[in-house]
Amino acid sequence: MSFIEEFDHLKIQLQDIISATENFSTNKLIGRGGFGRVYKGELFLPEGKTMVAFKRLDRRLGQGNVEFWKEIMMLSKYKHENLVSLMHFCNEGDEMILVYEYASRGSLNRYLGDVNLTWTQRLKICIGVARGLSYLHDPMESQQRVIHRDIKSGNILLDEKWTAKVSDFGLSKTGPANQPQTYLISNVVGTPGYCDPLYWEMGFLSKESDVYSFGVVLFEVLCGRLCCEYSGGELSNILVPKWRRCYEEKRLDEIILVGLKEQMEPGSFNSFSAIAYRCVKKAREERPTIAEIVKQLEFALEQQEIFENLVKRVDIAELIKIADLAVPPLSYGSHNQLLMLLLKGFLVDDGKMWVSINIRGEVTKTVSATKCFFGDNLVTKNAYTAPNRKAKVARCKFPYYVWNVYSNRFRVEVNSHFLSPHVTYTIYIVFKYCGRSSPKYIPFEYKLAEETHYSRSCIAYAEEDDGWLVTKLYQFTNHHGPQNFSIDFLSRNQIPLDHQFGFEEEFAFEGIEFRPLENVTCGNQERKVKVETDSEPNLLMDFKDLIELSKDYIQWTTKKELYFLLRKGFLIDGDKWFSISKNMKKRLMIPASTFLDTTDWKCNSVPESQSRFKVVTKSLKRYSFEIRLKADSKILSPQTKYSCHLIFKLPDTYASFEGPMVIGIDDGYKCHLLPLSICLNTHCHPPIVGSHGDKRSTPGPLQARKMKGHPKQRKDGWMEVQFSEVSVSTTDIVYKLYVEEKRFRSMNFFGIVIEGIEFRPL
């Protein structure tokens, strides 16, 4: 069978096209391009009367037989939702006509300057184009890689549902998927302004050439205009260098389409503009892959949709009442702008309360310590004019904070004013330790005025955004009507402690924070991600090297089976457990025998039903031990932050231990932030205030919430607790875990069994 005969089933008669287009009437003309004119018309096809688009070759424009047959070959083999579909063609006499599915809304360039094309629609269109390019750049095993060579807004078609369709493959270049990416092309083609400068000037073509062109389209979508300016029918200016400078100089507001910025969620805008800028970087190696572009654009859309859902959920009238109390007064022109301000937060109540909302529209507030702390020896200090280094504190929300030597008793009085109804809140005390040493256990003992028994704070967290520490005091659900909280704190002298430091401990207090409880349950903690395993071209390619490291021979017949095999995991290198998360990120578990000192830990063999490693370590030490870790960049996913989880079991002797088993953590590299200490049993959750604030409730479902530094019971019988976060680029880190306070010396590490440490992508 000849080359042309292979496509005979797609041929239709010229007369059918003439009839459908009324002999190529101008009334049927819908566009022009480098190939020729485009017409619309209806054909009688097996599925019925169908509107289609006819692209008629005009050789005077520079294209001809090669481009015609290349388009047919390409689109007959490559099928994707975001690629325009070739339905038929005609090759009679001098006429060469391609017949496509009809994209009723035409090309993207027609809508760039239309503010009615919303930011969300623009994001979805860009994601569609990126997915289409990903399909071309990273093909299935049976296909060749395709470089389009003419990506521009005029070649992106839109159907009735605004679905993007990449079109015009006449200039595309194909090659084996496994061959080097770069081609040397003597005859450079494409559209000025969109072409990769390296390709345009030197003829070097690669996948990154398409990435550059797509980056130009992203900027067009953002700026609402084409990348080129014309004067007298001649190209006079290419705007891409200006757009790059505006990004670098943080002047994007000067070039964004008027009326579009008001629709944007800031995070969405930042994600979109950052990836657009990287696409048009001059250095090819600095441009992202199309897979990374898809990920970042999807993230930008996710941020935007979360914001739009927020707009629908909030009681805007109540938020306006809060905004009216702002100090200084707020200036905003729309409800969207007000929500942006609330997401950032602002001062109210004469500057003594900080109010903001979270992405669910729930109010968070922090009451200044100068307003709610009471005691005989409290000192108010200026946050911005500390007289010496010792008195300086982290960035403060308020102009003033409270200073206290912890031999002094004090009281806190706060209420639920401004808080969202029917929302469960955690009450935090926000503080900073100002002594010469920095204990990891924060020994606050406190109670509500109506209570008789004192509670103990357990775990302190470092706030990454402003440097203050927080520890939980209570949880409660905010019902309609005010709730008042009067909380008494014991002085340090009344708490039985080690006094090992030999000097008084000093604290700076920013205030009391009411923060909505994160909506996380103890079930499936991973974010639900839609995984289309049968259409995932890189599943085997991405994990092939690790599969080859498996201790056992691994078999599968479909990509779905391979996906679930990777989700379950398997041993690699003989002693590490490798698996993937739902969003295809790599996970790794390391056995304890590889990072614990065998002089202090005893290795015991156990059945596989008890441990995947068939060996665990049992502690012979009592009050401290070290963990030496390194994030393995050869195994873990690049450019990914990981949480570190200790997998352990407590000996039976601690079943009746009533208090919190709190241990401190030291990190010599000072990169460890969350938490400063961890708890090994389940007695470290904050007490829950009853529904009317009059008494403490018995332990309930709220205590089962996931919290950093708090342990969780696993389905396999082991306990786990997160103790750190690391990046793959992190070098060796040594963690020292120890029992700090003497009053906890009744608890020690002797007999604790550790299975290993697991790295999970965040």
Within the chain, how many helices (H) and strands (E) appear? 13, 41
DSSP category for residue 169: -
Tens digits of residue pLDDT in 140-179: 655 678 899 999 999 999 999 999 999 988 788 887 666 6
> Residue 47 sits in which domain range?
5-101
User: pLDDT tens digits, residue range 608-653?
Assistant: 888 988 888 888 876 777 787 766 777 887 778 888 899 999 888 7
- Provide the token pair at 147: 């470089």
* pLDDT of residue 693 exceeding 90: no
Last residue of a domain, one of 289, 308, 327: 308
**CA dist., res. 665 & res. 2, Å (int):** 73
CB 434 within 8 A of CB 509: no
- CATH number of the domain within which 243 lies: 1.10.510.10
Q: Out of 197-201, 292-296, 743-747, pick the least confident.
A: 743-747
φ, ψ of residue 687 to 5 degrees: the values are: -65, 155
Are both 596 and 743 inside the same structural domain?
A: yes
pLDDT at 631: 62
Residues in a beta bridge with 733: 629
The answer to whether residue 526 sits within a structural domain is: no
Q: How many domains does the chain have?
A: 4
Rounded Cα distance, 328 and 344, in Å: 15
Q: Are residues 345 and 250 in the same domain?
A: no
- Per-residue pLDDT band for 377 (boundaries 50, 70, 90) equals confident
Same domain membership, residue 323 and residue 378 = yes
Question: Which pLDDT value is given to residue 353?
Answer: 97
The answer for residues whose C-beta is within 8 angstroms of residue 116's C-beta and 6 or more apart is none
- Choosing from 516, 532, 556, the residue where a domain stops is 516
Beta bridge mates, 348: 353
Q: CB-based burial of residue 268 (10 Å sphere; 0-12 exposed, 13-18 middle, 19+ buried)? A: buried
pTM of the shown model: 0.69
pLDDT of residue 530: 46
Return the percentage of the chain with pLDDT > 70, whole number: 80
Secondary structure of 492-524 as H, E, C letters:
HHHCCCCCCCCCCCEEEEEEEEEEECCCCCCCC
The enclosing domain of 29 has a CATH number of 3.30.200.20
pLDDT at 738: 63
Whether residue 159 sits in one domain with residue 77: no
Spatial CA neighbour of 170 closest among 105, 84, 111, 95? 84
Over residues 189-241, the pLDDT tens digits come to: 889 999 999 898 888 888 999 999 999 999 999 999 999 999 888 899 999 99
The conformation of residue 315, written as its DSSP 8-state character, comes to -
Residue 112 confidence (pLDDT) above 80: yes
Q: Among 290-304, 573-587, 624-638, 694-708, whose mean pLDDT is lowest?
A: 694-708
Distance between CA atoms of residues 712 and 210, nearest Å? 47
603 Cβ partners below 8 Å, 6+ apart?
Answer: 593, 615, 616, 617
Residue 361 and residue 285 share a domain: no
The residue out of 482, 516, 550 marking a domain boundary is 516
The residue among 480 and 82 whose pLDDT is bigger is 82
Both 79 and 163 in one domain: the answer is no
CA distance 43 to 22: 12
Instruction: Clarify whether residues 384 and 461 are in a common domain.
Output: yes
Q: Does residue 169 contact residue 86 with C-beta atoms inside 8 Å?
A: no
> What pLDDT is attached to residue 393?
56
55 is in an annotated binding site: yes
Q: Is 397 domain-assigned?
A: yes
Angle at 742 between CA 737 and CA 745, to 5 degrees: 65
User: What is the arithmetic mean of pLDDT over 408-437?
Assistant: 88
Examine residue 542 and state whether it is found in any structural domain, yes or no: no
- CB burial of residue 524 (10 Å; 0-12, 13-18, 19+): exposed
**Whole-number mean pLDDT of the chain?**
82
Q: 82-91: per-residue pLDDT in tens?
A: 999 888 999 9
203 φ, ψ (degrees, to nearest 5): 85, 10
CATH of the domain at 344: 2.60.120.260
Give the pLDDT score at 698: 40
User: Residue 12, Cβ neighbours under 10 Å: how many?
Assistant: 18
What is the amino acid identity at position 428? Y
Angle at which helices 119-137 and 207-223 pack, to 10 degrees?
Answer: 170
DSSP per position, 319-354: HHHHHTT-SSPP--SSHHHHHHHHHH-EEETTTTEE
Residue 1 pLDDT greater than 50, yes or no:
no
Residues 489, 410 share a domain: yes
Longest dimension (CA), the chain: 102
Question: What would the mean pLDDT of 96-102 be, rounded to a whole number?
Answer: 92
- Does residue 406 lie within any of the structural domains? yes
Higher pLDDT, 601 or 505: 601
| 341 phi, psi to nearest 5 deg | -65, -40
User: Is residue 508 included in any domain, yes or no?
Assistant: yes
One domain, residues 354 and 218: no
Structure tokens that stand for 681 in this block: 């049993």
The DSSP annotation for 574-597 comes to TTEEEEE-TTS-EEEEEEGGGTS-
Q: Give the phi and the psi of residue 506 in degrees, each rounded to 5.
A: -120, 140
Assess whether pLDDT exceeds 60 at residue 691.
no
Sheet with 455-456: strands ordered across = 373-374, 410-415, 484-489, 445-448, 455-456
Do 442 and 484 fall into the same domain? yes
- Regarding predicted confidence, which is higher, 690 or 695? 690
Specify the pLDDT at position 541.
Answer: 61
The Cβ of residue 153 has, within 10 Å, a number of other Cβ atoms equal to 21
User: Are residues 151 and 294 part of one domain?
Assistant: yes
Place of tokens 């657009």: 276
Poorest-pLDDT segment among 404-408, 429-433, 594-598: 404-408
Backbone angles phi, psi at 421, to 5 degrees: -70, 150
Name which residue leads in pLDDT, 435 or 335: 335
Whole-angstrom distance, CA of residue 535 vs CA of residue 81 = 12
| 550 domain residue, yes or no | no
**Residue 221 within a domain:** yes
222 contacts 251 by C-beta, under 8 angstroms: no
Q: What pLDDT sits at residue 536?
A: 46
Distance CA 198, CA 338 (A): 45
Classify 605 as helix, strand or coil.
strand
Integer Cα distance of 587 and 581 in angstroms: 7
Average pLDDT over residues 305-328: 93
Residue 679 counted as domain residue: yes
Phi, psi of 610 (to 5 degrees): -95, -25
Distance between CA atoms of 454 and 753, rounded to whole angstroms? 32
What is the arithmetic mean of pLDDT over 313-339?
A: 92
pLDDT at 590 > cutoff 80: yes
Q: What are phi and psi of 381, to 5 degrees?
A: -130, 150
CA atoms within 13 A on the CB side of 94: 3
- The helix or strand, by DSSP H or E, that contains position 43, with its residue range, turns out to be strand 36-45
> Is the domain of 111 the same as that of 239?
yes
Cis omega before residue 675 (within 30°)? yes
Q: In terms of DSSP H, where are the helices of 549-654?
A: 559-568
